[in-house]
Structure 1
Amino acid sequence: MPVRIGTLLTLLLERPISLYAAAVLRIGYGFLYLAFLLREFPHRNEIWGPGSPWTPTLARQLFDQTGWASILTLSDSRAYFEVCYTAAVVTSALFMLGWRTRAVSVLFAVVVTSFHARAIYMTDGGDTLILLMVLYLVVTACGRRWSLDARRTRLRAAASKTGRLPLDQASGELRHHLRDARLTVITVLHNCGMLVIAAQVCFLYGSAGLYKVQGAAWDNGTALHYALNLDVFQPWPALSAMADEHDVLLAIACYLTVLLQVAFPFVLFGRLKYPVLAMLLGMHVGIAVFLGLPLFSGAMIVADAAFLPDRFYRSLGRLWRRPVQGSGSGGMADASRAPRALVPAQSERAG
């Protein structure tokens, strides 16, 4: 037991875990919220602005009871709202790209919190999950991979090879100790944030599955039949009617959904998690297509990506670079491969 505790402490304190998964969460949620804001751009005033039926005055009265807050209610001016909306779009794009991620992640959390609180009764559950995840991502090092910050770090590391003037020994040691302390704090916060994200997803799936077990519609396999016949969940009525004709397949889908959600927290430490994640991906795609909940489905698909190991994402990166390198002439491809070894790999504890 002491050996295991020591191993866990070493993992928690010395090496950031799931850096690529954190980058995928950053890119995924930044893209989803950016697409969400752009999609609702024609209706922005009716949903979040001064022209909303849920007026800023009603929102502030609710905040007094719930403790929520929103920058959108600081003024009833239409011009102020337009500035906030534009800033939200820009912040979402910068967060997705990973530019100055530490500061922008805080701004993005403020944006998501403000828009969620302003129209809390006009949501579908997807933005609630995004809100939780972006709050957790604030403490993670989600800008270390696949970001403009990571690119800037690599360029800075390459430029440092030109040489620098030596510092005096005392100053160098002090900077070294301060850097180590800072990186340790960042590593601990990142690892704790990723573990909380994983626990949140497990709790979400487990509680959803156990809740379904108690329902008669899920017990007899008719839950999806009723969902497909609700007008609010029929983006394409003809498609819903076609799917509703297959009673046996709908019943199997009901039972499989409950099984996957209840089993999810128990299969994360074995190879079964890969087929389970693949089936959950299909389930969420089906929810997006048949029930018209793309934001919710996208948020869940991105959350599931946190459970894929970094080696999986590194292999995706290699597959992505291979056709890019081969798209040019043979000489150009060889030339592009040659200098790569001269650029140092990004440190696991960098930045």
Structure 2
Amino acid sequence: MENEAQMTVSVGVLRWLSDRITAVWDLLTGRPLSLYGASVLRIGYGLLYLIFLLREFPHRDEIWGPGSPWTPALAHQLFEQTGWFSVLVLSDTHVYFELCYVLALVTSGLFLLGWRTRVLSILFAVVVISFHSRAIFMTDGGDNLVLLMSLYLVLTACGRRWSLDARRERLKSIRASNAPTSTRSFLASQLRYARTTLITVVHNCGMFLIAAQVCFLYGSAGLYKVQGALWGGGTALHYVLNLELFQPWPALSHFVDEHTLVVAVAGYLTVLLQVAFPFVLFGRLKYPVLTMLLGMHIGIAVLMGLPLFSGAMIVADAVFLPDRFYTFLPHLCRSVVRRTDSGRPVPGRAASRGAVPAQGGPGGTSRSKRRVVLPTGRKL
């Protein structure tokens, strides 16, 4: 009897484990997950890096070019120790550097638009790695996050939605529906199915890596803050607001710092949100948490002058919004526009409501007739 009970338990455990493995396999191979989220990441990071390169365009030679204090020879010595690489140091001529900078701008713009995304995602990752490693001592957390996300996006199908590739595929499917159907061989069908399955698995693994990276970032930042006495005492943001290096608008920083209670509550709330973030992703509580994190990053961008870091974090948070949220946005925008248009008066109709009706004539109000008695006795 005891052996039979042990066998039953073993069979039950094996069956549960088999069901879990089957569920995970179906999740990985069933369909691409969060295609809209991947497209938002592509658009967001492509736009951020394009703006970044355009903003630093006047100072490009001092930061990355041959005129930089960190010369290409020094960069080569560092690359031998760290294993980094950069296409910017393949030549130390100004013509080559200007050509690389223009190609980086074009690559970021095309990646933003989603043109030939498979190839452009690799080129975009090469661009980010090259510029990051060329001036690695001038980077911050935002640059590091953009670098990691550019590598992860290579694995994803980030051009399936809101892209020129999606438009081209839609037009191609329309033309294919009108054309006569062609019979495919069994081998060609199997190869096409294997390719689709492989792309789906790689895409889903890439999205899981992105989600895990963001969770690890928030969780480690929150746990690191918990260990600090300043965050525990609620005074950390007070010292942050008084750092001259992070005061783009000193008057605004001093104004916020005057509200001591608000600053202390914001500090405790920051730690709570970061620690709790990985645990609220599978429920409806994630929506208010993401909204508060959005406000926190906007505050960092405005008060501390770190727009690239805040923008990178806001774009990364978008991966946790489901596809139904992004498909609902166009309907919401159309309904808002429809309500706005319905509230506006129609030009011809609005004027006719308050207009004075015509006097006399067909359809007009009849004038009251009075009889005037003339001295002669005749009536008009």
TM-score by length of 2: 0.83
Equivalent residue number for residue 95 of structure 1 = 111
* Structure 1 segment 4-23 matched on structure 2, within 5 A: 4-23=20-39
Residue type of the alignment partner of 1:236: W
Q: Please give the alpha-carbon distance, in whole angstroms, between the structure 1 residues aligned to 2:160 and 2:181.
A: 28
> Which one has the largest radius of gyration?
2
TM-score by length of 1: 0.90
Q: Which amino acid aligns with 1:256?
A: L
- Does 1:58 find its partner at 2:71? no
Q: Displacement, 1:124?
A: 2.4
Q: After superposition, give the CA deviation of every residue in 1:57-108 in whole Å (9 maximum; x if it has no partner).
A: 1111110100000000101101111000000000001111100000000000
Q: Does 1:295 align with 2:311?
A: no
The residue type paired with residue 141 of structure 1 is A
Task: Return the match for 1:260 from 264, 273, 281.
Answer: 273
Partner of 2:237: 224
CA displacement 1:220-263 (0-9 Å, x = unmatched): 11111111111110001111111111111111111000000000
Q: Cα offset for 1:165?
A: 5.8
Residue from 291, 310, 318 that aligns with 1:278: 291
Name the structure 2 match of 1:128: 144
> Which of 178, 191, 208 pairs up with 2:191?
178
SS of equivalent to 1:16: coil
Let me know the Cα RMSD of the aligned residues.
Answer: 1.7
Q: How does 1:1-351 map to 2 (within 5 A)?
A: 1=16, 2-164=18-180, 166-167=182-183, 171-320=184-333
Q: 1:327 to 1:98 in 2, by over 3 A?
A: farther
The residue identity in structure 1 corresponding to 2:43 is I
Q: Distance in 2 between matches of 1:25 and 1:318?
A: 21
Which residue type is aligned with residue 253 of structure 1? A
Task: Please give the alpha-carbon distance, in whole angstroms, between the structure 2 residues aligned to 1:316 and 1:21.
Answer: 13
Preserved CA contact (<8 Å) 1:100 1:149: yes
Structure with more contact order per residue of length (Cα contacts < 8 Å, sep ≥ 6): 1
Give the letter aligned to residue 54 of structure 1: W
The residue identity in structure 1 corresponding to 2:254 is A
User: Could you give the per-residue CA deviations for residues 301-344 of structure 1, whole angstroms, max 9, x where no partner exists?
Assistant: 0000000000000001333455789999xxxxxxxxxxxxxxxx
Give the gaps of 5 or more residues in structure 1.
329-351
Residue 5 of structure 2 is matched in structure 1 by none
Q: How many residues align?
A: 326
The one-letter amino acid paired with 1:240 is: S
TM-aligned CA deviation for residue 7 of structure 1 = 1.7
Q: CA separation in 2, counterparts of 1:289 and 1:223?
A: 18
3-state DSSP class of the match of 1:121?
Answer: helix
Determine helix, strand or coil for the equivalent of 2:66.
Answer: coil
Match of 1:332 in 2: none
Asked whether the 8 Å contact 1:124–1:293 carries over to 2, the reply is no
- Give the CA deviation at 1:27: 0.4
SS at match of 2:138: coil
- What is the rounded CA distance, in whole Å, between the counterparts of 1:221 and 1:62 in structure 2? 40
Q: 1:325 to 1:241 in 2, by over 3 A?
A: closer
**CA deviation profile, 1:122-172 (whole Å, cap 9, x unmatched):** 1222111000001001010000001000000000001112223634xxx53
Over 3 Å counting, the alpha-carbon distance change for 1:326 and 1:227 in structure 2 is closer
**Offset of 1:200 from its aligned partner?**
0.3
State the alpha-carbon separation in 2 of the partners of residues 321 and 117 from structure 1. 44
Counterpart Cα distance in 2 of 1:323 and 1:100: 34
1:31 alignment partner, SS class: helix
- The answer to whether the 8 Å contact 1:201/1:304 transfers is yes
